[in-house]
A and B are shown apart, each in its own frame.
Chain A
């Protein structure tokens, strides 16, 4: 550093602010549990550049932020998973291991590089039963959050997470879960993204071998028709979710100081 002096705190804060601003510019991605597994929903006008991806048999990946940065994380994750599955056994590849790899990478880059990655990532793993499901949300500084039921990230993540929390129930059908996700992703009174601009995928525990399945075209349209048609009973969800400030989900990027040590693992 040729000129002047900035305290480490200041440098870290600046990097965090920079990353947080970059992430907030994009659109949100929602990940939530449904009765047969985990659903990923992202408004995404591109058909080829994915925000959601398969990593391994039971593990899926979703990201927001700079495409080239999270694409590198995605490729690295697939290499990690494939080499471990091939070295040991396919069942030895876990979402937790992948989350730790990402956390160490993100944390190292955050502290050692001039610019931190402007990404936020979800690693989700589907289990044999719903209790075995895991959703890990990782922020740009390497913090890991073990989410229960659902996670939201990206632009307006807090508002999306609040709407998600109000409507989310355990063991929803796939159509209901998609409805909840789309409601959460849409601003009140706003217009929902058209089918062609939605990226939707599931980790379905009932599938054989590889659980990840992208829902596109006619299959997605059928599912959306199910949600918007007569599903009146799905909307009056339990009103028992007052958005009390005490138990709102953790903010998508830790506010203020970089790592406040509160909820990250």
Chain B
């Protein structure tokens, strides 16, 4: 397969000036396909236990936006391969994605997806619709299905602020694509069952962004409590979860100070009641 580096200069320029669709992925696919995440070679043996895996991501809507948070642990089999990995990525001014599964593939997806969204925005002079963004991500996941079957599974959680509805929206995916829109909250990754249980009890309709950030930190703590692959807050090394908020003002990542304040408040309460806040019974 001819790489773009082998092409004569004139031809490269022709390609750059050849206007086609507004999709960056399609452009790369025709111009330098080796840069795309999906590849068709089949691995001799699944290598899933040898590469780092990202674990739990949680997201929840609040009045006028959406919050997403992720723990910081990456594991290779039973080894903790990194303690401060980042798995929540800003993808444009009004959206972000979290990744669970094979970390390397997930990071590549996030990078490509960001360019995909910006490319469309710059070429078309308008922002892609939220449904459009969710569908583009689904196509990328579907393209990775062959690799997923080999153990390189990556499953994202996608959140965006929808200016038409003035609310946050959450989409989740399976290995074959998606997108599945989720009401109120969702979680992905190995700790997601525990996080989702926690969120189910702690989620409040119409909560503020601050309260929802705290709710997600509680949910991550509950996931880390029961899932060995999910990292809790690392008090000695001061490694806190990553919390991102998207609303009408755009994407912002909470600062270390803000998150550490939430975490300390939570840890103090957990010293008294280790299982966390209790939802009313009736």
Contacts and interface: CB of A to CB of B under 8 A. Distances in A.
B10 interface: yes
Interface in A31-81: 48, 50, 53-55, 72-73, 75-80
Contacts of A17: none
B127 to A, nearest CB: 12
A55 B32 contact: no
Contacts of A48: 125
Judged by DSSP, the binding face of A is helix
Given A50-B125, A209-B90, A72 B19 contact: yes
Contacts of B118: 82, 210
A153 B246 CA distance: 40
A85 B27 contact: no
B115 A87 contact: no
A156 interface: no
Interface in B95-145: 111-112, 115, 118-119, 122-123, 125
Contacts of A5: none
Interface residues of A, number: 24
A210 B119 CA distance: 13
A108 B122 contact: no
A104 interface: yes
Given A53-B122, A108-B10, A79 B16 contact: yes
A95 to B, nearest CB: 15
B125 A87 contact: no
Nearest to B121: A54
Interface residues of B, number: 24
A106 to B, nearest CB: 11
Nearest to A86: B115
A131 to B, nearest CB: 27
A108 B16 CA distance: 14
A105 interface: yes
Contacts of B111: 86
B28 interface: yes
B119 A85 contact: no
B123 A72 contact: no
A76 B32 contact: no
Contact of B19 (A75, A80, A82, A86): A75
A73 B32 CA distance: 20
A86 B112 contact: yes
A82 B119 contact: yes
Contacts of A195: none
A76 B16 contact: yes
B197 to A, nearest CB: 35
Contacts of B119: 78, 82
A54 B92 CA distance: 14
B17 A76 contact: yes
A72 B17 contact: yes
B262 interface: no
B31 interface: yes
B45 interface: no
A76 B9 CA distance: 14
A221 B16 CA distance: 37
Given A104-B9, A108-B13, A85 B122 contact: no
Given A75-B17, A76-B16, A83 B32 contact: yes
B50 to A, nearest CB: 26
A209 B27 CA distance: 23
A101 interface: yes
A85 B15 CA distance: 17
B35 interface: yes
Contacts of A50: 125
B16 to A, nearest CB: 4
Given A53-B122, A210-B93, 7 more contacts: A78-B119, A83-B32, A83-B35, A86-B28, A86-B111, A105-B16, A210-B118
Interface of A: 48, 50, 53-55, 72-73, 75-80, 82-83, 85-87, 101, 104-105, 108, 209-210
Q: Which 8 pairs across A and B sit closest by C-beta, in order of nearness?
A: A76-B16, A76-B17, A78-B122, A86-B115, A82-B119, A79-B16, A82-B115, A72-B17
